[in-house]
């Protein structure tokens, strides 16, 4: 029954082509173990070859190594090839930032893509279930995702990643494993409530099931499918609108009639901007709804010119057109706004504002450099301004022995090139006093004899993370 359902679903949806090399991402857990053994048994009917790949994240010591050995032994028993990748998550996380979970996922999918690039696999299948899909929709809803997030886990992504178990409940899979006497590994980290997904799985979904809807997982999966269809329709409409209205100019610049853009439905307007970022910029991974909406409303609402940075592209407008191009130094506008020792200033060129307030007594903490910075008010020169970075800027980082080129500091801190030009600086001449959101200069720190204290608070109008 279980195998027939998997076979029929894979054939009906055309998940695999004859002769394809299909690699199963096998963690050793119940879902991927069931998927690996099932596809190995069905490989004749599906006319595919099957292999396994295991990524050892090295996060659970002996338990991680035990998972790896289990998958290797299972692959050997099934007479299939097994590819092993060992990761060092902490080293990667220190280099690029982010959570352990997000870094592990990035490196895991890099390992999968490497198999495809080396022609060792045509497709990588993962064992995401209907329960995983419901959890994903809830997590994305709570975090404020757009349609793509509410569409849940795609059954096929990039024509490489396939999820044959999305129509299966976790309970079905466990029952099949018990029926066939197939052993599997348990991941102890799945019991930790410090991870949001585990809280949704262990607390929220059971509560919704008990209190509101006994088939809440099925309902959420149906809802995700509806959202996916709406997303696909909007994407298609936006692609058509972009192709119909976009005119290619010099240096890769694309222009769209402002009147035409304004005539589109608001949902299509947003999707056109997302399409532009996907085609011209860095991709949509760190582009939020708020960023898209801020640019959209500015383009539609302001009669004059505007200038925004969005996902690696510059969006400019004049009275007639929207001009889109990949962001670079050559299309950056320098700006300079005088510093005032009180009040709030909004700097639209970098989409942020800063509030400046006196601190009447010596602060308990002298920590500075992130969203809020404490400074010696008398150390800030009269000619200080808010501006973006310039060639020749010098910075004396708090706690360091001396000055360095600002460029070197930004490189050492691994701040991406595309982000450097959107940083807001407080500077006097070539001397940078504060890299807003990062660190103050040693020259303006609060010292033993400081008499006047000042607090600067940064607010991003369009936060990226």
Query: CB within 8 A of 63, min separation 6: which ones?
Result: 187, 188
- What does the alpha-carbon distance between residue 306 and residue 321 come to, in Å, rounded to a whole number? 11
pLDDT of residue 135: 96
Q: What are the beta bridge partners of residue 82? A: 52
First to last CA, the chain: 45
CB 221 within 8 A of CB 255: no
Taken as a whole, the chain contains a residue count of: 465
CB 295 within 8 A of CB 322: no
Which pairs count as long-range contacts for 358-364, CB under 8 Å and 24+ apart, including other chains? 358/452, 358/453, 358/454, 358/455, 359/453, 359/454, 359/455, 360/453, 361/453, 362/446, 362/450, 362/453, 363/446, 363/453, 363/455
Structure tokens at 373: 């910075």
Residue 13's region, left for phi above 0, alpha for psi from -120 to 50, else beta, is: alpha
CA distances from 372 to 68, 203, 343, 455 (A): 45, 36, 15, 7
Helices of type H across 51-150: 62-77, 89-96, 100-117, 130-143, 147-150
pLDDT of residue 303: 60
Query: CB within 8 A of 189, min separation 6: which ones?
Result: 59, 60, 195
Structure tokens at 365: 């903490």
One digit per residue, pLDDT tens: the chain, 465 residues? 999 999 999 999 999 999 999 999 999 999 999 999 999 999 999 999 999 999 998 888 899 999 999 999 999 999 999 999 998 888 777 766 677 888 888 889 999 999 999 999 999 999 999 999 999 999 999 987 778 889 999 999 989 999 999 999 999 999 999 999 999 998 887 777 888 899 999 999 999 999 999 999 999 999 999 999 999 999 999 999 888 888 876 666 788 988 899 999 999 999 998 888 887 876 666 677 888 888 888 888 876 666 777 777 888 887 788 888 876 655 556 778 888 888 888 776 566 778 888 777 666 555 544 578 888 899 999 999 999 898 899 999 998 989 999 999 998 888 766 577 778 899 999 999 999 888 999 999 988 888 888 888 887 654 443
Burial 405-424 (b: 16+ CB within 10 A, else e): ebeebbeeeeeeebebbbbb
pLDDT of residue 370: 55
Q: What are the beta bridge partners of residue 161? A: 124, 157
Query: CB within 8 A of 265, min separation 6: which ones?
Result: none
pLDDT of residue 292: 86
The HSE-up count of residue 405 (CA atoms within 13 Å, CB side) is 7
Q: What is the DSSP string of 230-249?
A: HHHHHHHHHHHHHHHH-EE-
CA distances from 179 to 34, 171, 173 (A): 11, 12, 10
Residue with tokens 């807001």: 424
pLDDT of residue 147: 85
Q: What SS3 class is residue 55?
A: strand
pLDDT of residue 431: 94
Burial class (CB in 10 A: 0-12, 13-18, 19+), 331: middle
Question: Which pTM does this prediction carry?
Answer: 0.66
Domains in the chain: ranges and CATH: 2-223 (3.40.50.620), 246-330 (3.30.465), 338-460 (no CATH)
- What does the alpha-carbon distance between residue 421 and residue 423 come to, in Å, rounded to a whole number? 6
pLDDT of residue 175: 97
């Amino acid at each position: 029954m279980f195998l027939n359902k998997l076979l029929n679903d894979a054939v009906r949806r055309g998940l695999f082509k004859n002769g394809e090399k299909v690699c199963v991402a096998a963690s050793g857990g119940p879902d991927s173990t069931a998927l690996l053994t099932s596809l190995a048994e069905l490989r004749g009917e599906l006319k595919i070859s099957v292999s396994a790949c295991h990524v050892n994240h090295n996060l659970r010591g002996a338990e991680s190594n035990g998972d790896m050995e289990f998958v290797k032994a299972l692959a050997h028993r099934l007479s299939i090839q097994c590819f092993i990748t060992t990761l060092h998550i902490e080293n990667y996380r220190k280099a690029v930032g982010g959570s352990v979970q997000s870094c592990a996922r990035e490196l895991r999918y890099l390992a999968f893509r490497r198999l495809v690039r080396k022609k060792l696999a045509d497709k990588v299948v993962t064992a995401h279930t209907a329960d995983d899909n419901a959890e994903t929709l809830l997590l994305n809803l709570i975090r404020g995702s757009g349609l793509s997030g509410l569409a849940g886990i795609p059954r096929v992504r990039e024509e490489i990643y396939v999820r044959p178990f999305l129509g299966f409940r976790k309970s079905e899979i466990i029952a099949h494993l018990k029926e066939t006497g197939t052993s599997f590994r348990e991941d102890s980290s799945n019991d930790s409530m410090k991870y949001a997904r585990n809280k949704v799985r262990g607390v929220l979904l059971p509560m919704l099931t008990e209190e509101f809807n006994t088939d809440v997982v099925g309902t959420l999966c149906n809802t995700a499918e509806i959202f996916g269809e709406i997303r696909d329709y909007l994407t298609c409409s936006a692609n058509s609108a972009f192709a119909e209205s976009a005119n290619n100019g010099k240096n890769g610049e694309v222009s769209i009639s402002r009147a035409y853009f304004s005539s589109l439905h608001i949902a299509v307007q947003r999707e056109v901007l997302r399409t532009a970022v996907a085609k011209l910029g860095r991709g949509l991974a760190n582009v939020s709804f708020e960023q898209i909406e801020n640019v959209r409303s500015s383009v539609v609402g302001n009669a004059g010119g505007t200038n925004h940075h969005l996902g690696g592209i510059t969006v400019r407008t004049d009275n007639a057109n929207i001009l889109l191009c990949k962001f670079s130094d050559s299309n950056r506008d320098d700006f300079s706004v005088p510093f005032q020792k009180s009040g709030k200033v909004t700097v639209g060129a970098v989409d942020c504002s800063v509030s400046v307030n006196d601190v009447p007594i010596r602060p308990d903490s002298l920590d500075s450099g992130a969203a809020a910075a404490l400074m010696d008010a008398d150390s800030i020169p009269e000619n200080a301004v808010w501006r973006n970075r310039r060639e020749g800027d010098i910075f004396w980082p708090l706690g360091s022995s001396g000055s360095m080129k600002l460029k070197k500091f930004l490189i050492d801190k691994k701040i991406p090139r595309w982000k450097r030009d959107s940083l807001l600086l407080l500077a006097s001449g070539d001397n940078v006093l504060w890299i807003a959101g990062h660190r103050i200069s040693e020259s303006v720190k609060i010292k033993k004899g400081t008499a006047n204290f000042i607090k600067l608070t940064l607010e991003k109008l369009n936060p990226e993370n």
